[in-house]
Amino acid sequence: MAAGPSVTYRSRRRRRRRALRRALLSATVAGCVLAVSGGWIGLRGWEARGHLINAAALAGDLSDQVMAGDTEQARRTLVALQGQAAGAHDVTTGPAWWTAAHVPYAGRDVAAVRAIAASIDDLAGDAFPALIGLDPSDLLPTGGKLNLAALREAAPAFASADEVVQRVRTRLDAVPAADLLPPIRDAIQALRAQIERLSALTSAGHQGTALLPELLGADGPRTYLLLLQNLAESRSTGGIFGAYAVVQTDHGQITMTNRGAGGDLQQFPAPVLPLDAATKALYTDRIGVYPADVNLTPDFPTAAQLFREMYRQRTGVTVDGVLATDPVALSYLLGAIGPVPMAGQPTLTAANAVGTLLSDPYQQIASEDDRHDYFAASVLAVFDALTHRSTDPRTVLAALDRAAGERRVLFWSARPAEQAALAGTELAGVLPQQEPVPGVGVFLNDGSGSKLDYYLTHSATLSVGDCRGDGRRELSLHLTLGSTAPATGLPAAVTGLGLAGDPDTARIVTYLFSPAHGSLVDAKLDGVPVPLGSGTDHGRQVGVVSLDIPPGRSRVLDVNLLAPAVPSNTARLWLTPGVAPWNTHINPAPACAQ
């Protein structure tokens, strides 16, 4: 039986009332959440706003006090912070806020505010109490020695605090900030920046207190190689291992006993360690024969083990690990520890270290042996200043964190348990074989036998493209490499072998790594299709393109790639650190599931 007109009318009227109620509810919620610091309509919103503003200021003060070791003042600040954080958390929890967080459009702003409140509450309740009373200076040597007992005592607190900080960091990173109201977006971004700084301390503290006692000889003397990468002659991890120093540790005491140049080890008649077929296909036997070529691969454990074996065969000494850094990282440290005098050479400072170590010696020191000795002496001088001077732990830890984040500090341990503990950290220098975010590698190797890479400039844009039917994601890489070298006047010590033909032209052999379980599709060099070749390294497809870059010119390489089916809307770049900083940009896209 058909419904009559009055029934149909009443049904339509009920539907219109329901639609109106939904619209009014959405409008009400949207109006109640206008900003974190710009004003909300409604009593509860204003309460949360006040608590969050006060808590954010107190959290910043507390971070500074913890880093400065001002325990008494930090405890007072913590009490105030916990009160404000608890108030914000109470206001932004409960059925009303949960419901509001699930309203379309406006709900994402409500959810973001809840994430801010919950994050500050976690920091105040769990992270900061563990950090108060710890002395960051315990992570640094004094008089050439670290206090291993203090490190071990601090380990549980750092581990606890770091677990909370990383959890908060993950929560905030999951908030899609781009579509939030501007004041809320600004609050999320400001809190993320604070968490990044705090994460540098807790991560360094966690890793340091867990590993340093054993690394520094708590269970007996250790011997390490400290390598200085010469960025003027590029290799995938940074530059050739131009100089080294031998570091010995014993119950926290740190000393340097020897120094030399990588070239002193000379060529070997055959690879010093077995090389698998994939490694030989990509890098040839040179990677195991020439000390300057062990880091043609970006995999630092491979390079470290090869150099360690070369050193053992030449000296009879088997070291317990290998640490590598570069002059840019030294410049960061010099900014924290102050100028370091050099006998017969200019004083090293944060401002001049890179040019003084990578350019001036080729103009002013005639002998190659003397240059190598100067490189090694510079490492010794900066290391000695770091281990013996009284410095501000905040600035030193920040410098080390910056260098490690740029892959300018790498470490490999010969002891499997210690190496496993480094897995997943930037220090390990390993591209992950499983990654939630697709990573594309761009690794540069000098092919001209010169020191022209001091003048190299580089930029890279990685764009996330369309989703294929099988779930794989298209990626496009736009890479520009340039040279600021003068057209004439460079000495032979800089132009070197001139393998590009023109002695002032840099030849860069570029290794392009696909995402893990992804692939390379095709490439164009300056708009012209170019073959990529084919190889594999640690589960990634690798293509190789050689670029000749004359002075004052640049070359453009465009590469299309495929990423595996992963629920990510962004991507990551893995890059060879150079003298000049990379100019990079990532263009995300909606996730395939959307």
Tell me what the mean pLDDT of segment 19-48 comes to.
Answer: 38
Both 163 and 268 in one domain: the answer is no
Both 144 and 78 in one domain: the answer is yes
Q: Which of 23-32, 449-458, 574-583 has the lowest mean pLDDT?
A: 23-32
Both 477 and 573 in one domain: the answer is yes
| Predicted confidence band of residue 50 (pLDDT cuts 50, 70, 90) | low
Both 448 and 384 in one domain: the answer is no
Of the ranges 54-68, 72-86, 506-520, the best mean pLDDT one: 506-520
Angle at 563 between CA 559 and CA 564, to 5 degrees: 160
Residue 296 sits in a domain of what CATH number? Answer: 3.40.630
Is 7 contained in some domain?
no
User: Which pLDDT score, from 0 to 100, does residue 289 have?
Assistant: 98
User: Which pLDDT score, from 0 to 100, does residue 355 have?
Assistant: 95
Both 347 and 363 in one domain: the answer is yes
User: Which pLDDT score, from 0 to 100, does residue 106 have?
Assistant: 52
Dihedral in degrees, nearest 10, Cα atoms 374, 375, 376, 377: 40
Total domains in the fold of the chain: 3
| Predicted confidence band of residue 131 (pLDDT cuts 50, 70, 90) | confident
Is 96 contained in some domain?
yes
Both 311 and 355 in one domain: the answer is yes
E-strand ranges in 363-517 read: 410-413, 439-446, 456-467, 473-483, 506-513
Both 202 and 293 in one domain: the answer is no
The residue segments making up the domain with residue 238 are: 222-420
Both 176 and 150 in one domain: the answer is yes
**pLDDT tens sequence across 413-472:** 999 999 998 888 889 999 988 888 899 999 999 999 999 999 999 999 999 999 898 889
- pTM equals 0.82
Is 2 contained in some domain?
no
Provide the b/e sequence for 344-374 (b: ≥16 CB within 10 Å): ebeebebeebbebbbbebbeebeeeeebbbb
- Assigned token pair, 29: 């919620």
Strands 540-549 and 506-513 come out as antiparallel
Both 364 and 478 in one domain: the answer is no
Both 323 and 367 in one domain: the answer is yes
Of 385, 420, 455, the last residue of a domain is 420
Both 257 and 389 in one domain: the answer is yes
Is 470 contained in some domain?
yes
Of 185, 214, 243, the last residue of a domain is 214
Both 337 and 380 in one domain: the answer is yes
| Predicted confidence band of residue 29 (pLDDT cuts 50, 70, 90) | very low
